[in-house]
Structure 1
Amino acid sequence: MNAPATIRPSTADRIDPITAAVIQGALENIAIEMGHKLMRMSYSSIIRESEDFGAALTDADGNQLCECKMSTPLQSGPIPGYIRGIKRALAARGDVIRPGDVIMHNDPYGGASHGPDVSFTVPIFVDGALAAFSVTTAHHLDIGSATPGSAGIVDAVDAYSEGLQFKAIKVSDEGRVNRAVWQILRDNIRAPQLVVGDMEAQIKAAEIGAERFLALVGRYGMEQITAAADHLMDYSERLMRDAIRALPDGTYAAETRIDGFLDDPNPARRDLPIKVAVTVAGDEITVDLTGTAPQVSDRPINMPFEGTVDCAIWLTLRSILLDSALYGDVPQNAGLTRPITIVAPKGCLANPIFPAPTIARFTPGNAMADTLMRALSQIVPEQVSAGVGNLRVVSFSGLKEGRHWVHMEIFEGSYGGRFGLNGMDAVDTLYANTRNNPIEDIESHLPIRVDRYELRSDAPAAGQWRGGIGSVREFTLLSDGAFSIEGDGHSQRPWGHDGGEAGRPGELTLERADGGTEILPSKVPYHEARHGDRVLARGPNGGGYGDPLKREPAAVLDDVLDGHFDVAQAAALYGVAIRDGAVDDAATAALRQQRAA
């Protein structure tokens, strides 16, 4: 059977900007509705509460038209890559996309961010021609990897040990449900009642998106929608090019290091460099990752070039150069990426070669975004933060009455200080953007007790604007089970900017019910735990921004009153003298003059 014709956007189409904006608003509302429906229909807290999902519409070529603003950038951002990967895989098999198809895809070497982020794509046909795609993505609690869960599989030796691979699999073929695929899923994943339920919710949300898009076509016509999409992609591109053109031409480089595997005797697996060189030339930017460490072929910290690396770079540039606080609502579409070129040598961490494993790409990708921000600090210092405290992802699991339970938790990091503002405390940073799970939700569904959830008590990184504070999380297992962890930031302190103090690294401890204590590295493969064992995690503190001696004394006093540090530390770190709950101006001036000398 021949593939139906494809409607391709024409740049020759013209539309007035008001109609284009109205259509853009309608498209964005469709994506938002898809996200709300997916959250409400999902079974697992990682989607329902943490919002670790994506929802978007693309045109027939995979160019993004809109995305759900509630979703994480690492879910919605890769969706165009999913579409390209699906098309390549189907073409290689001699298959085509037809009305009634629903396509499942999670190939990290075919556009997906990593294996647990599974997409479901519904093609949209208008008058028999392929016009668009409605797509949802979401992180799933288990996809049949070597050990329970889909986070912390840090000892995977290749792509096959990371779980099931879905390369453009039609779970529905021209409207006929492929029941064998669903049975394979149920038979090969842990907690299938949750995972399959979430997948079915994704399909329904994507189908809702397709229905709403067709209703929009019925109102405006496909020609008008195509013209609006072209207009708004060109508009977003112009905004990005104007922002780049305002930068000084030149090349600006930065380097950071990630932990890798700190307890591994092989030096090729620890303290690995990430290098970024940003070249500005007119209205275009090239981000060159040459010099980044070679891929680790038997450990899963490699980052898919398409799906992780590109999204980390696009998001960082868009957030810094087109800050919504200044620019307002910028249409999120493919036009934003046109002026950006990314270079990464084949075989490095940022462009691995199959079958190098990639499931734990989360924290290296966040470190790459942070390194790009450090490079940009040389030319737009007032638009960046100092070094961020990286995140960690934990999977808890166990058996209850012969059935697996699995829970995934994202532990917050923190931002560095910013020009005019302190760093944000205890938040997901950069491309993560997920929410925390409410304690009540965790304790009502799982054999886990949350004993502590608070800010770190050690002093935040000093600066004219202090660094953000990481969280302290303590979990007690109420039955025998296990945990696995992927994280970073135990060996390196988040960088301080322009005289600001470097931040504090993260820490991880297992406190056993029998009284023993185990200091853990930032990455922990499947680790058995007993009833009463406690996992204690301290998130990193972000770096400080600017000279601490320039911090407003009143702000230092507020920090003391808030308990972030004491009076002695106020004098030592900031040169601020506090007496009887107030700033002593004369003593402060003398202290600061002494320190400056």
Structure 2
Amino acid sequence: MSDATLEIRMQVMWNRLISVVEEQAMTLLRTAFSTSVREAGDLSAGVFDPEGRMLAQAVTGTPGHVNTMAEAVLHFIAGIGRENMFPGDTYVTNDPWKGTGHLHDITMVSPSFKGERLVGFFACTAHVVDVGGRGFGADGKSVYEEGIQIPIMKFAERGRVNADLIRILRANVREPNQVVGDFYSLAACNDVGHERLIAMMQEIGLESLDALGEFIFTRTRAAMLERIRALPRGRWENDLLTDGYDRPVRLACSVEIGEDVVNVDFTGTDPISTHGINVPIIYTKAYASYALKCVVAPDIPNNWASLEAFTISSPENILNAPRPAPVSVRHVIGHLVPDLVLGALARALPGQVLAEGAAALWNIHMSVRPVAGQAGRRAEILMFNSGGMGARPGLDGLSATAFPSGVMTMPIEATEHTGPVVVWRKELRPDSGGDGQYRGGLGQVIEIEALPGHEFDFSAMFDRMNHPARGRDGGAPGAPGRAALDDGTVLKPKGWQHVPAGRRLVLHLPGGGGFGDPARRDPAARADDISKGYVGK
């Protein structure tokens, strides 16, 4: 076989491997019980070699899941032990420090055997609606309050599900059918990946993935080194303020570009919080690496070799919080890490990096119940919402778009089907995008009420209310967010709060910052903004 023919053959197999993991992810989307998975796509899926190195990931998924999973598989291999792995096994954990940063994310890993030979692993992660404890919120003072902890263990051995684990889950969560259903969906998606992989290997005549893995890693590593060596050498710093829980939190970083590696260090960041907004380093690494890759190599496949080019360091602080720190709402601070890192890169690459955006999802978890003495329905409802992206060099920011998480918007109909609530408004928020040569993306206005005879508590997981997204290169900041009841009662950015029967929760999501001098905006673009109602006259 000639070198050219071998190259083509390997590339075809690489593409086939990506299709395998994409089908793996689609299985999870189509079978999941929780709306956060089946509607928003808050999941990830990937295939790994026998050493636990990620070969390929599904396009569907979030950086906070797939990049943490790239490290988590190594924890599974160490925790289970190769000698205890058998065909038909599936392993599980929600350990925040060995998984994806908080207890609500369930990670499952399954070994893939071809005959008696271990040829790889499949892994997937998804956010479940409840894990017990205080519920999904920032009010806990330690991880022990935040829900049930599942150490790395077997969900199934040789195809037989651990019935004791299922009974423990059912006794500890508020929505047992949804949660247990999602566990089975996660296991099933790994099974589908395994079946498709073995079928591919049999069709092509592969006994192992060793040669394919070497091809993937060699090509990826060479491409990453080429991109890094084209960057300017040096060290650049940035910081930003977040709303925190009850006081602002300062995040700081430095980005140092060397010949073969880019390092991000978070020295100078504020200490660990007493509330559940802390971030395990595994999650911080995931989003810092994502920010670097967006700028350095957005078109190079994401795998072990591409992630190896980025190193992350930090002293103990809110971005490197050790056990047993409370971490339930780690995504809020974690989603601001890309803006922090991109701000440093903007100093190294002026004019090439987008402005800050809303960043953190405006998630709300609603616990709905009948008013005392009235009949009705109880429900736990999780809703994902997004503000505006920062403007980009040459393009306006995207409105109501989940950057950096990449999750999809939940349809109103799906939310209302889940429990007794009505979403009265969900529309773009005029004048929320920062002005500039290129306008920041718009946030949203969302108005929610429980059905008659019901009330609800909700967990606020918001940011950018007191510290809006900053513009870049002369662009104006985006509008800050706001949360209130329809009677004007102002609500906190984080924590469990009450919405009485007959009252509505009104959210004004933040907009993205503008890019460039507003005086240079194309008059036709301004006229278009006015005609569409994006800005006032």
TM-score (normalizing by structure 2): 0.94
1:71 aligns with 2:66: no
Distance 1:235 1:387 in 2: 33
Work out which of the residue numbers 232, 236, 242 in structure 2 matches 1:258. 242
Work out which of the residue numbers 12, 16, 34 in structure 2 matches 1:26. 16
1:469 aligns with 2:442: yes
Which ranges of structure 1 fall in alignment gaps of 5 or more residues?
A: 1-12, 263-269, 325-329, 568-597
In the other structure, the counterpart of 1:89 is: 79
Work out which of the residue numbers 456, 460, 464 in structure 1 matches 2:429. 456
Distance 1:464 1:250 in 2: 29
Distance 1:188 1:179 in 2: 15
Query: Do 2:241 and 2:249's aligned partners in 1 also have CA atoms closer than 8 Å?
Result: yes
Summarize the alignment of residues 266-277 of structure 1 with structure 2, pairs less than 5 Å apart.
270-277=247-254
In the other structure, the counterpart of 1:488 is: 463
Note the C-alpha offset of 1:331.
Answer: 2.5
Distance 1:165 1:192 in 2: 15
Distance 1:117 1:133 in 2: 19
TM-score (normalizing by structure 1): 0.85
Query: Do 1:100 and 1:173's aligned partners in 2 also have CA atoms closer than 8 Å?
Result: yes
1:302-325 CA distances to partner (integer Å, 9 max, x unpaired)? Answer: 11111x11110111111112234x
Work out which of the residue numbers 276, 279, 292 in structure 2 matches 1:303. 279
Note the C-alpha offset of 1:465.
Answer: 0.7
Identity across matched positions, percent:
31
In the other structure, the counterpart of 2:340 is: 371
In the other structure, the counterpart of 1:208 is: 192
Work out which of the residue numbers 116, 127, 144 in structure 1 matches 2:132. 144
1:239-285 CA distances to partner (integer Å, 9 max, x unpaired)? Answer: 222111111101011000111113xxxxxxx2111111111112321
Note the C-alpha offset of 1:224.
Answer: 6.0
Note the C-alpha offset of 1:562.
Answer: 2.1
Summarize the alignment of residues 180-579 of structure 1 with structure 2, pairs less than 5 Å apart.
180-222=164-206, 225-262=209-246, 270-296=247-273, 298-306=274-282, 308-324=283-299, 330-345=300-315, 347-390=316-359, 391-399=361-369, 404-430=378-404, 432-458=405-431, 460-478=433-451, 479-511=454-486, 516-525=487-496, 527-567=497-537
What is the DSSP-based 3-state SS (H/G/I as helix, E as strand, rest coil) of the residue aligned with 2:25? helix
Size of the alignment, in residue pairs? Answer: 528
Query: Do 2:396 and 2:441's aligned partners in 1 also have CA atoms closer than 8 Å?
Result: yes
1:196-215 CA distances to partner (integer Å, 9 max, x unpaired)? Answer: 11111111111111111112
Note the C-alpha offset of 1:129.
Answer: 3.1
Summarize the alignment of residues 111-130 of structure 1 with structure 2, pairs less than 5 Å apart.
111-130=99-118
In the other structure, the counterpart of 1:134 is: 122
In the other structure, the counterpart of 1:579 is: none
1:438-487 CA distances to partner (integer Å, 9 max, x unpaired)? Answer: 11222233211111111112353111111111111111111223211212
Structure 1 range deviating more: 272-281 or 73-82: 73-82
Note the C-alpha offset of 1:176.
Answer: 2.7
Structure exhibiting the larger radius of gyration computed from Cα positions: 1
Note the C-alpha offset of 1:57.
Answer: 0.9
Work out which of the residue numbers 41, 44, 53 in structure 2 matches 1:51. 41
Distance 1:428 1:221 in 2: 42
1:482-522 CA distances to partner (integer Å, 9 max, x unpaired)? Answer: 211212111112111111112211111123xxxx4321121
In the other structure, the counterpart of 1:587 is: none
Structure 1 range deviating more: 285-294 or 105-114: 105-114
Note the C-alpha offset of 1:218.
Answer: 1.6
Query: Do 1:302 and 1:349's aligned partners in 2 also have CA atoms closer than 8 Å?
Result: yes
Distance 1:331 1:480, change over 3 A: same
Note the C-alpha offset of 1:422.
Answer: 0.7
Distance 1:28 1:564 in 2: 39
**Match of 2:133, as an amino acid?**
S
Distance 1:459 1:443, change over 3 A: closer
Distance 2:444 2:252 in 1: 28
